[in-house]
Amino acid sequence: MLGNVRHHTRLGMADKPRVIGIDLGTTNTCVAHVRNRIPKVVPTDRGNLILPSVVGLSTKGELVVGAVAKDQMVTSPKDTIYGAKRLIGRKFESKVVQALRNYYSYEIVEGTEGEAAVMLGGKLYSLPQVSSFVLAHIKTIAEQFLGGPVTDAVISVPAHYNDNQRQAVKQAGTLAGFNVRRIVNEPTAAALAYGFNRSFDQKILVFDLGGGTFDVSVLQVNSNVFEVIATGGDTFLGGVDFDNRVIDYVLAEFQREHKIDLTEKPVAMQRIKGAAEAAKIDLTLIPNVLIELPYIDERKGKPVDLRIPLTREKLNELTADLVARTFQICDEVLAQRDLGPQDINEVILVGGQSRMPLVQQQIQAHFGKAPRKGVHADECVALGASLLGDSLGQIDSVTLIDVLSMPIGIGLANGRFRKIIDKNSSIPMVKSFRLPQPKEPGAERIEMDIFQGDAEQIVDNEYLGSLRVPAAAAGRKIDFRLDEECLLQVVVDLPNGPKKIELATRDTPAMLRQALQEEARKREAEQAARGGAAEQSRGGLFSSIKRFWGGT
């Protein structure tokens, strides 16, 4: 996300603040620092290299973070926030949030600015606040490990994040007490960890299959110049979706054997969730496992145990379409630049789910080469972010040229989306156009609704906010400016000079609200139809289980 960034001053070591790199993940968070130009991961308070991205409220009413919070997910699912990365920076009324509301055990509500928020212990928290608790915990851990204050951070985000999501992550870092020096795309950070100071001249593809999102970026690496050529992804394709397939299978097998439906039993569901994830991970190394959960339920006062065998072949069968989807996205991204798999020199794996043997086998088959093994899938994003942070202010810094992952544009009166800045535009950049006349004759102001996304209809894109300026500004120049972090600024040439305009976000535009309501009615009708079919289909019984962990 850093465009043509060159630094021409070197700070003295005594004056140089500590800068850490943070990979704020859907499932886990990883932090790294650079010492003597070598990046290293900072271990957590439990000695692990990753921290669960989980926040909870203990039985004593205390906020807990990380492994302690994850430990209570079984007993207190409603008071444990996980998967926040899928919600942060999204409007409450957006299609995505409305679809996810029934997928989590905790309560998702509307925040003070119309954004998605959560309830914890009867108190409303914004998603940046929730993420800031994780980041503040990371800050404490880093300061204890490094033996001094840590003030600055570079934080990574999925390449496919929109402007609102990037702004929300930066806000979370600020709330945690960091001076957020940069927001950087995860695949770009991973490429930096791979190629920094290695004098490569290659086209590389970063295949980032994490806990909640899938990103793919193609970069041209030439010495310490890292240029993103094209990028794409799916913010709802990740390890949790693989877990859901295992959970569906386990529930169906248990139902078939015992005639018991566990989907309405939160504690049992959380136990199955944990066991399914563990089984999936174990099948990376061994060919078969036994999912065994004693006393999962009872019948006539007697305990009923769950014992379901699962093989790697069965896991592959359950998730084959998810894996195929990742390669469909890879091909779409390559096609944007008239490239094919044969044009890629190296494939870099990022994210825990990329360790799945089926994924690696398919990479070998699709690209004609095995993925690069020298980059740690869980650590490389944090390592790359720390390298970037360490290079800021140095003469021999890296040059990162990133691109916009999704178009930014405006909504038209017919509900269609007009692109102003195209996908894969290099950043930083400015796109100028002229303000239109007010929508209604005699109106006192011009209103323009701004969206980001790949769809042709605004209802399928993310609402970023509304521009509101006096009607007298009609015909004047307006700039959409993207900085090196891919954050949007809107500047209007008003009669008294150029002025940065803050977008109004609290009120959803009437046109969008009407479209969303129509979508909601369609969704309810589809759900009702599926519900009727579920009575006749055993598999349909388990479509509701995803509300417990945010799958799609």
Taking the C-alpha atoms of residue 40 and residue 361, their distance in angstroms, rounded to an integer, is 29
Q: Which long-range contacts (CB under 8 A, 24 or more apart) does 529-533 make?
A: none
- Active-site residue, 201 included: no
- Cα–Cα distances in angstroms (integers) from residue 497 to residues 106, 477, 491, 503, in the given order: 48, 11, 10, 18
Q: Give the HSE-up count for residue 278: Cα atoms under 13 Å, Cβ half-sphere.
A: 11
Q: What one-letter code names the amino acid at 492?
A: V
- Active-site residue, 186 included: yes
- Active-site residue, 163 included: no
Taking a C-beta distance cutoff of 8 angstroms, is the pair 340, 327 a contact? Answer: no
Tokens of residue 363, six digits? 């990479």
Catalytic-labelled residue, pool 70, 79, 85, 95 = 85
Task: Single out the residue of 178, 163, 176, 180 nearest to residue 88, CA to CA.
Answer: 163
Taking the C-alpha atoms of residue 168 and residue 83, their distance in angstroms, rounded to an integer, is 15
Taking the C-alpha atoms of residue 436 and residue 131, their distance in angstroms, rounded to an integer, is 39
Maximum C-alpha span of the chain: 79
Taking a C-beta distance cutoff of 8 angstroms, is the pair 508, 449 a contact? Answer: no
Tokens of residue 24, six digits? 């704020």
**Which helix (H) or strand (E) element contains residue 545?**
none
Could you say which DSSP state residue 78 is in?
G
Catalytic-labelled residue, pool 115, 208, 241, 346 = 208
DSSP strand pairing (429-434 vs 408-411)? unpaired
Taking the C-alpha atoms of residue 401 and residue 379, their distance in angstroms, rounded to an integer, is 22
Tokens of residue 183, six digits? 């927001």
Task: Single out the residue of 272, 291, 273 nearest to residue 282, CA to CA.
Answer: 291
- Active-site residue, 444 included: no
The catalytic residues are: 23, 85, 186, 208
